[in-house]
Structure 1
Amino acid sequence: MKSIEWLNNSIRFLDQTKLPLSEVYIETSDISILADAIRTLKVRGAPLLGIASAYGVLLGIQNEIHSPKEKFFSAFEHAVNLISSTRPTAKNLFWALERMRNIFRLNSIDDPRLLFDKLKSEALLIHEEDRIMCEKIGKHGAELIPDGAKILTHCNTGALATGGIGTAFGVILTARNSGKNISVFVDETRPLLQGARLTMWEFQKEGIPATLINDNAAAWTIKTKKIDLIIVGADRIAMNGDSANKIGTYNLAVLAKEHRIPFYIAAPTSTIDRSIQSGEEIQIEERDVQEVTNGFGKQIAPNNICVFNPAFDVTPSHLISAIITEKGVLRTPFSDSIAYTVKQ
């Protein structure tokens, strides 16, 4: 399964809002359609957003490769600005756009056609690098998973969210493929149910034993099912290790501490934001209130009420046991291990 791919002059992606009932792919050469797909979560997951943003730049400029440079340059800026405006929290989206900007700056004297080819090569490289990073994250993380482990996870971190086997999901998959007997409990992940709709779908496809729980059952599940560890992904990591991830992640970290079990983050180093020192600086996206009051088209709350609907929360680094990256497993103090890792 390919969640996203570049096809000559268009992009093809799996519409994740249709899962698990149907697998619908959208193919488009229109950057505005891709931007809308990012905003509406047809395309989602921090690493996948990085890949999508790079491909989005290509969509935004490909019709101007025969135009004067000024028009080509203007199309590039418009494409970057449009994609930048879609979702504020996922670092990978902005990281990939900055890589595309660097290629543009370093080769701006080139003919637009040649510059486009270099930008396309960079976008394809970002996709391939993510696939490789997922494999490495899986390998490093699998070493932390004991045989017979019962694992709790949150939201979706598999192939649907990345360009490879996934981050936290990839760790679980790699552990299973190494012969370890594991089972997983999956938070439904309200309000959009990414755990129920997407993660359970992926575990089912991979044949990994998984049990869906409602979000409110996490503490009781940890206690009564004797969960051994919790592993999740991340959308942005500060230099001190504070990590933004899907809303509800912070809850799990607090529960892990109370029950004295490890709480792991699995994410590529592209998710680390070198410009911020702590989670206090992370911008948290707040989404449409109807995701809470009218979930999946059915009204479940009264009209004219106040709703708070943050898409993410920030887990303080002191609650995180380790951060699993493609470069290895980072331990506390995270300010030191992260600073060392990003310099490599």
Structure 2
Amino acid sequence: MDKIALLEKDIRSLKIQGATNIALTVIKAIVQKSEIPDQQENNYEQILSCARRLAYVRPNEPLSQNIIKYVFDRKEQTASYYKRRALDYQMLMQQAIQKIINLGLNLIRNGAVYLTHCHSSTVINVFYEARKSGKQFSVLIAETRPLYQGRITATELLEKGIEDVTFMIDDCAISAIEGRLKNIDAIIIGADVLTGKGFVNKVGTMALVRACERAEIPVFTFTSLLKYFSHPFGNNDIEVRSGQEIWKEAPKDLKFYAPAFDFVPYTSNLKIVCEAGIIAGNEVADKAGRLYNFLRR
């Protein structure tokens, strides 16, 4: 099995997971492929094929798929051109994340209670920077079945010095929003896909956002506009996972419904915290296109 095939397998099995990690994997592959001596000339198709294979292993990864738009804007260039473009995209990612962290740091309030769902490296870093600045706050974490990414979030927050962390099963999250545990000040989550009409995040997010809408609790989605998907997006575009992830030893002939994500329409209580500022959902398409012209393609 070649190296790209192994990486494909790792992404599919979630050994490599998280939008940022997958995008960095794609960038690294482009760079390495560009450095192979026999790829210096007539290399467009070979390097593009390598990048596409990794960027499209999972359908809901626009941060990786937009690498294709950015890096391969011109055909038949030298390998060093594609390497430079890939590293430039990585720099765009890093700059976006830093801007989001700076904005998020100002949103975190001393003594507040926040609920998060799944795992977002950007959300983790915002909480970390807020704690490092001296702020004290509480974080509630939904376990995020069936693969329990909430456990990753809980572990990382504790390791980074956030003392007041509470873990709960997913079914408790709604009652927590209703005030059964603590009065929640806001939900802070990431996103895998941004569109003009809504965003995509781990399954279970829809229920949390709707509950917050009823309870008039703000929702902040910390994410880069590099995750913008310019084409029409609907429920049929959501990745569906194997039922084996839910129940490995299930009875024979049992059917499963196992979407990996929710498509969540923008609501009035939801704000996108991104490199363009803190914006409403109906501003996403315009801001993304203005900031990153290549996303219009």
Given that 1:263 and 1:321 are in contact with CA atoms closer than 8 Å, whether structure 2 keeps it comes out as yes
Q: Structure 1 unaligned runs (5+)?
A: 1-27, 110-114, 159-165
1:40 is aligned to: 13
Given that 1:191 and 1:291 are in contact with CA atoms closer than 8 Å, whether structure 2 keeps it comes out as yes
CA distance in 1, matches of 2:132, 2:272: 21
1:255 is aligned to: 211
Cα distance change on mapping 1:182 and 1:77 into 2, 3 Å: same
Aligned amino acid, residue 116 of structure 1: A
Given that 1:89 and 1:282 are in contact with CA atoms closer than 8 Å, whether structure 2 keeps it comes out as no
How many angstroms does 1:140 deviate by? 0.8
How many angstroms does 1:238 deviate by? 0.7
Q: Structure 2 unaligned runs (5+)?
A: 292-297
Q: What TM-score results when the alignment is normalised by the length of structure 1? A: 0.77
How many angstroms does 1:135 deviate by? 1.9
1:53 is aligned to: 26
Q: What TM-score results when the alignment is normalised by the length of structure 2? A: 0.88
1:335 is aligned to: 282
CA distance in 1, matches of 2:218, 2:235: 26
Cα distance change on mapping 1:157 and 1:204 into 2, 3 Å: same
Deviations 1:58-116 (A, max 9, x none): 445554x326844x3442242133124300012101011222212x52xx25xxxxx22
1:305 is aligned to: 254
Deviations 1:154-181 (A, max 9, x none): 11101xxxxxxx2x22332232223221
Given that 1:149 and 1:227 are in contact with CA atoms closer than 8 Å, whether structure 2 keeps it comes out as yes
Q: Does 1:85 pair with 2:32? A: no
Given that 1:186 and 1:195 are in contact with CA atoms closer than 8 Å, whether structure 2 keeps it comes out as yes
How many angstroms does 1:139 deviate by? 1.2
2:294 is aligned to: none
Deviations 1:241-265 (A, max 9, x none): x000111111110111122211111
Local SS of the residue matching 1:148: coil
CA distance in 1, matches of 2:184, 2:83: 44
CA distance in 1, matches of 2:131, 2:80: 40
Counterpart of 2:104 (choices 112, 120, 141) is 141
CA distance in 2, matches of 1:86, 1:67: 23
CA distance in 2, matches of 1:30, 1:77: 15
Deviations 1:293-340 (A, max 9, x none): 12xxxx3x3232000111111111025521000221102xx3346414
Counterpart of 2:171 (choices 213, 216, 219) is 216
Aligned amino acid, residue 266 of structure 1: F
Q: Write out aligned runs for 1:287-302 (5 A).
A: 287-294=241-248, 299=249, 301-302=250-251
Local SS of the residue matching 2:139: strand
Aligned amino acid, residue 302 of structure 1: P
CA distance in 2, matches of 1:236, 1:321: 15
Counterpart of 1:200 (choices 154, 157, 172) is 154
Aligned amino acid, residue 318 of structure 1: T
How many angstroms does 1:229 deviate by? 0.7
**C-alpha RMSD of the superposition:** 2.3
Local SS of the residue matching 2:187: strand
Aligned amino acid, residue 46 of structure 1: A
Aligned amino acid, residue 308 of structure 1: Y
